[in-house]
């Protein structure tokens, strides 16, 4: 799994012109799922996300986690994170998981993050044409690949 994490002061996702989810201070996360991903990736990644110390403390040092600041999450599925651009100019998405694999893993990631935070999170809709808006706070943007844990 690949995630792009952006620390935000606000974020929202619209589907067909209607707001599906919106959050205040927290993390907007784009999640890319590939065929080889499994529940162990979800467990590791959800804990890593909730524990990342990327929010400022009293001295404006990034020393607090999402849990520490009672932040929110907006999680958006994003198969294009697995784009291969090695050959030609048209990206290949061959590594991206098909819906029969990706949807159950996306749902499990939602549950895992809700469990980590002890509250509901905002989501998009798998496979929908979504319009995502955010105010990146910092800016702080972090890329994590669950296959590169060591």
Q: Rounded to an integer, what is the distance from CA 8 to the centroid of its chain?
A: 12
Residues pairing with 141 in the sheet: 6
The two structure tokens encoding residue 39 = 């529940």
The catalytic residue among 80, 85, 123, 141 is 80
Q: How far apart are CA 42 and CA 20, in angstroms?
A: 23
Residues sharing a CB contact under 8 Å with residue 45, sequence separation 6 or more, in sequence order: 1, 3, 109, 144, 146
- Told to judge if 85 belongs to the known catalytic residues of this protein, a careful annotator would answer no
Q: Catalytic positions, please?
A: 80
């Amino acid at each position: 799994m690949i995630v792009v994490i952006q620390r935000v002061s606000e974020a929202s996702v619209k589907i067909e012109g209607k707001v599906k989810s919106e959050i205040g201070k927290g993390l907007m996360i784009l999640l890319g799922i590939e065929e080889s991903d499994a529940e162990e990736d979800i467990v590791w990644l959800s804990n890593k996300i909730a524990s990342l110390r990327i929010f400022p403390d009293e001295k404006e040092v990034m020393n607090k986690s999402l849990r520490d600041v009672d932040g929110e999450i907006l999680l958006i599925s994003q198969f294009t994170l697995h784009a291969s651009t090695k050959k030609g100019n048209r990206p290949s998405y061959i590594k991206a998981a098909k819906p029969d694999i990706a949807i159950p893993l996306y749902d499990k990631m939602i549950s895992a993050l809700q469990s980590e935070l002890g509250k509901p999170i905002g989501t998009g809709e798998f496979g929908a044409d979504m319009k995502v808006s955010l105010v990146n706070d910092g800016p702080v943007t972090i890329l994590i690949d669950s296959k590169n844990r060591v």
